[in-house]
Chain A
Amino acid sequence: MAATDAFGKAQPASRRLGSARRRWGEDVGKGVLALCACLSIATTVGIVIALLLPAIEFFGTVSISDFYTGTNWAPLFEPAHFGVVPLVLGTLKITFIACLVCVPFGLGAAIYMAEYARPRIRAVLKPSLEVLAGIPTVVFGYFALTFTTPLLRSIGIDVDIFNALSAGIVVGIMLIPTVASISEDAMQAVPAGLRQGSYGLGASKYQTSTRVIVPAAISGIIASFVLAISRAVGETMIVAIGAGLMPTMTVDPRLQTETMTAFIAATGIGDVATGTIAYKTIFAVGLTLFVMTLFLNLFAIKMVRRFREVYE
């Protein structure tokens, strides 16, 4: 039976909604788009292969337990030692110092911009933090070496030319915009009703900020901290320039240190012959670094999604 339209007029049975004929060109086009999307999957697969294969060869020579528990890192010396603990310690030192800077000040800046600042001040402040976020890391490295280290010395802290403290502080400064902008986003996403309810009950700005807004935005705030940690762990140039290239088994931030990233960069620069065990250390250390940041990133992504789901 033929279909009828709204006026009861007969319509041909073949007539249906949508295009009458298949558009092959569009299908090809969609395929191209999907292929481009797959490039990012290929990148991840490429990274995993690039790290894993040489790292497996490396762990065929050096045992995993020696690598992760050894406290002597001297891959280029004879006899060579492959204990990665000093490098991990260096990375953790830098990350810890950076967090001492970026967590309180980044969060403070976020609360100020989200809750306190008048629109005019905010209009100046936000771009300046964006400028800070756009400064290349090599420039921050120069800053650590020529400004922060002399400054620390002038206030009586006896630091080496290259030291973990100065580099860590500068990494922290670099990360203030990261913490501030993600935390601020999370606080802006808190519904205005919560804020008004709190003021309506007679709470002050301080009480509203600390007891209503921050708890309501906590998953986004935690995400900003975790992302900052991940970026501090992966930061290369600032530590290569400011913290030195000497692995040390100490927690003293005034001394030289070497991080995992700085080691990778320094070994990549040097003319280490391909295929040697010293060359493969790049990949073993790189794999360790990648796994650390992977877990941090996944956790942060999960937290960001949570606040997006709750309030949007």
Chain B
Amino acid sequence: MTSRAFKENAFRLYLYFSVAVGVVALGALLLRVLIDGFGFVDEVLLFNPPSSNPDRAGARPAILATVWLLGLVFGMAVPGGIATALWLEEFAKKDRWYNRFLELNIQNLAGVPSIVYGILGLAFLVRGLGLGRVLLSGSMILALLVLPTVIISSREALRAVPDSIRQGGLALGATRWQVTFRSVLPAALPGIATGSILALSRAIGESAPLVLIGALTYVAFDPSPLNAFTALPVQIFQWIGQPQAEFKSLAAAAIIVLLVILLMMNLAAILLRNKFQRKW
């Protein structure tokens, strides 16, 4: 074998191995969770409140709180994110320093560690505003956390709408505002929806900032926005930290529930994309 052929094959082997690391790790992770937790996904887990007795402990308040969070974060982050994206893409003068600063700021916010958002919540929402360690505080923090992601994906969707659509509208005498809301936004909506769902699925899996603002508590009642809460990932974290092995199995079972919720959200995003995506 010539040295060139040897290098070629060695390199190929390295590439295959690289790909395998990610795929095998994903497989091992899913398998581990399924083996540990599948037997524990039952009505006790879904419908019981947490308990110090692993046989009776469930995740009902955590699951309901996660559904609440989903709705509240959606209501706050998505309109705000779309509005910002519309401003930056359709109205702002891009060469002005303040708009460029805005853009840089959003890109940086997307990379700020989630625990820092938790500190923000601790300082302003929980103590500053006196809102306390409640579900509403948690949802506001998560909304701020995913806002940059929603903005960035919405901007990409808006940018994918060809300029001829805008020019056609303007040529017919529509104002910029009319063109934006009657032509561009409807055309970009499937892309925006897909990106927003993916951003929301990130919020649902997030636990670090919630832990910091005090979601790691024993909550036996069904959640509401102005009460103490614990979300599903936080419940998982709490169970992982228990010394008894049964709680580890419960954690694995709750992970399965969480992954199923995320899977459904991702499926919805993919279906939306496939059904409504247009090639221009």
List residues of chain A with CB under 8 Å of any chain B CB.
Answer: 19, 23, 26, 29-30, 32-34, 36-37, 39-41, 43-44, 46-47, 49-51, 54, 101, 104-109, 111-113, 116, 125, 128-129, 131-132, 134-143, 145-147, 173, 176-177, 180, 204-206, 209-210, 227, 230-231, 233-237, 240-241, 261, 264-265, 268-269, 274, 282-283, 286, 289-290, 293-294, 296-298, 300-301
B101 nearest CB across to chain A (Å)? 8
Tell whether, in the assembled complex, residue A30 and residue B211 are in contact, meaning their CB atoms are under 8 Å apart.
Answer: no
- Tell me if B28 counts as interface (CB < 8 A to partner A): yes
Tell whether, in the assembled complex, residue B212 and residue A268 are in contact, meaning their CB atoms are under 8 Å apart.
Answer: yes
- Tell me if B124 counts as interface (CB < 8 A to partner A): yes
A88 nearest CB across to chain B (Å)? 14
- Tell me if B60 counts as interface (CB < 8 A to partner A): no
Question: How far does the alpha carbon of A230 sit from the alpha carbon of B248 in the complex, in Å?
Answer: 30
Tell whether, in the assembled complex, residue A136 and residue B262 are in contact, meaning their CB atoms are under 8 Å apart.
Answer: yes
**Secondary structure of the A contact surface, majority rule:** helix
**Secondary structure of the B contact surface, majority rule:** helix
- Point out the residues of chain B lying under 8 angstroms from A298, CB to CB: 104, 108
- Point out the residues of chain A lying under 8 angstroms from B106, CB to CB: 40
Question: How far does the alpha carbon of A101 sit from the alpha carbon of B22 in the complex, in Å?
Answer: 10
A52 nearest CB across to chain B (Å)? 10
Tell whether, in the assembled complex, residue A210 and residue B11 are in contact, meaning their CB atoms are under 8 Å apart.
Answer: yes
Question: How far does the alpha carbon of A283 sit from the alpha carbon of B18 in the complex, in Å?
Answer: 39
- Stretch touching chain A among B38-46, B161-169, B188-196, B252-260: B252-260
Count B-side interface residues using an 8 Å CB cutoff: 85
- Tell me if B25 counts as interface (CB < 8 A to partner A): yes
Tell whether, in the assembled complex, residue B29 and residue A237 are in contact, meaning their CB atoms are under 8 Å apart.
Answer: no
Knowing A136-B262, A264-B212, the reply to whether A146 touches B7 (Cβ < 8 A) is no
Knowing A142-B252, A286-B119, the reply to whether A241 touches B105 (Cβ < 8 A) is no
- Point out the residues of chain A lying under 8 angstroms from B205, CB to CB: 134-139
Which has the most chain A C-beta neighbours within 10 Å: B4, B29, B108?
B29
Residue of A34, A145, A180 near B87 (CB, 8 A) is A34
B residues 169-205 near A (Cβ < 8 Å) are 175-177, 198, 201-202, 204-205
B202 nearest CB across to chain A (Å)? 7
Residue of B15, B92, B251, B266 near A142 (CB, 8 A) is B251
Tell whether, in the assembled complex, residue B18 and residue A261 are in contact, meaning their CB atoms are under 8 Å apart.
Answer: no
Question: How far does the alpha carbon of A10 sit from the alpha carbon of B148 in the complex, in Å?
Answer: 53
Which has the most chain B C-beta neighbours within 10 Å: A138, A173, A294?
A138
Chain A residue nearest in CB terms to B128: A50
A57 nearest CB across to chain B (Å)? 12
- Point out the residues of chain A lying under 8 angstroms from B22, CB to CB: 105, 109, 128-129, 132, 173, 176-177, 180
Tell whether, in the assembled complex, residue B258 and residue A139 are in contact, meaning their CB atoms are under 8 Å apart.
Answer: yes
Knowing A41-B102, A204-B4, the reply to whether A54 touches B123 (Cβ < 8 A) is yes
